């Protein structure tokens, strides 16, 4: 018996234990999509050249850029043993949206307003860094689809579209817009912690939720914010009300989602996306 144990230990030292393949929980392998999987504790994960946060429960998320390349490598390592998983990401077509009737000062801000925008961006960036530092924690259930934050909301803007404001070319749209009457309840699509609740120049009243695993979501142009920084929210909890504060042409929710610092498409996280005409609203 003693002999057998010794042999087993010797073998364990020579034969490297194979790194387990990840257990995929949910995936949407297209540009701006995501890949959510589970690995045994202690597994280090890298996506291409980027380190990926792995939760206490072994769950990790990878988000794909708007222009993500087709061939990507996920590298899972336990000690010196590694396994490569290839992720093929399908390309997407993005539309152009022409938005008219935007307040001119939000398209061509003056010096003071540029300073306000810079301060807002600093606060937003700092909140996202805080969220990433807490990425070992899991607040939400990543195996479940996210809820739509506005019930009965009509899609009025899609992720990734190139945009013109009042006829001028502008950057692409980093979120999904849901038009709804002013005052409509905005609900957390999944559990999280509030990392930002701020009145901003461009995005009006802005909330940021931290869902863990480096995933954050933002809610812009709100008429009202019902939560404050540090609050823990559950899926379905009312966090604010639809409004048209900031650079906006009518009441709607701008819903954005980020993996680490990469904007991703929030609507892909929802099981049944809403139907709606695609016309422009920030
Ligand atoms: Zn928007």
Question: Tens digit of pLDDT for each residue in 135-185?
Answer: 556 676 788 899 999 998 999 999 999 888 777 777 899 999 999 999 999
- Confidence band for 273, pLDDT divided at 50, 70 and 90: low
Q: Check residue 56 and give its pLDDT.
A: 78
Structure tokens that stand for 47 in this block: 């996506």
CA–CA distance, 148 with 172 (Å, rounded to integer): 22
- Quote the ligand 1 centre to 186 CA distance (angstroms): 15
The residue with greater pLDDT, 262 or 274, is: 262
- Quote the ligand 1 centre to 35 CA distance (angstroms): 24
Position 47 pLDDT exceeds 50: yes
Position 276 pLDDT exceeds 70: no
- Quote the ligand 1 centre to 240 CA distance (angstroms): 16
- Quote the ligand 1 centre to 119 CA distance (angstroms): 20
Hey, how many other C-beta atoms are within 10 angstroms of the C-beta on 104?
9
Residues 182, 201: contact at Cβ < 8 Å? no
- Quote the ligand 1 centre to 148 CA distance (angstroms): 15
Q: Check residue 12 and give its pLDDT.
A: 47
Q: How many Cα neighbours within 13 Å face the side chain of 112?
A: 1
* Interval 4-12 mean pLDDT: 48
Q: What is the pLDDT of residues 100-135, one digit of tens each?
A: 777 777 777 889 999 999 999 999 999 998 888 765
- Quote the ligand 1 centre to 228 CA distance (angstroms): 22
Q: Check residue 6 and give its pLDDT.
A: 47
Domains and CATH numbers, the chain: 2-88 (2.60.40.10), 96-269 (2.70.70.10)
Position 13 pLDDT exceeds 50: no
Residues 212, 135: contact at Cβ < 8 Å? yes
Lowest average pLDDT, out of 199-203, 210-214, 225-229, goes to: 210-214
Average pLDDT score over the chain:
88
């Amino acid at each position: 018996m003693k002999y057998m144990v010794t042999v087993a230990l010797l073998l364990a030292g020579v034969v490297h234990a194979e790194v387990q393949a990840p257990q995929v929980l949910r995936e949407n392998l297209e540009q701006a999509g995501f890949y959510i999987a589970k690995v045994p504790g202690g597994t280090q994960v890298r996506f291409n050249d980027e380190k990926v946060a792995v939760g206490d429960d072994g769950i990790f998320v990878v988000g794909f850029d708007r222009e993500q390349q087709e061939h990507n490598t996920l590298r899972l390592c336990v000690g010196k043993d590694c396994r490569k998983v290839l992720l093929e990401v399908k390309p997407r077509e993005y539309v152009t949206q022409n938005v008219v009737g935007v307040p001119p000062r939000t398209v061509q801000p003056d010096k003071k307003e540029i300073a306000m925008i810079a301060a807002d961006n600093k606060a937003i960036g700092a909140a996202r860094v805080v969220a990433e530092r807490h990425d070992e924690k899991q607040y939400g259930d990543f195996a479940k689809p996210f809820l739509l934050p506005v019930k009965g909301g009509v899609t009025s803007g899609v992720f990734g579209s190139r945009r013109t404001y009042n006829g001028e070319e502008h950057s692409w749209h980093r979120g999904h817009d849901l038009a709804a009457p002013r005052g409509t309840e905005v609900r957390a699509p999944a559990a999280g912690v509030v990392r930002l609740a701020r009145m901003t120049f461009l995005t009006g009243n802005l909330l940021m939720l931290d869902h863990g695993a480096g995933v954050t979501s933002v809610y812009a142009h709100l008429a009202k914010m019902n939560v404050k920084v540090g609050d823990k929210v559950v899926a379905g909890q009312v966090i604010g009300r639809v409004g048209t504060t900031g650079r906006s042409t009518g009441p709607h929710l701008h819903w954005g989602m980020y993996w680490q610092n990469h904007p991703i498409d929030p609507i892909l996280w929802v099981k049944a996306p809403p139907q709606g005409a695609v016309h422009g609203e920030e």
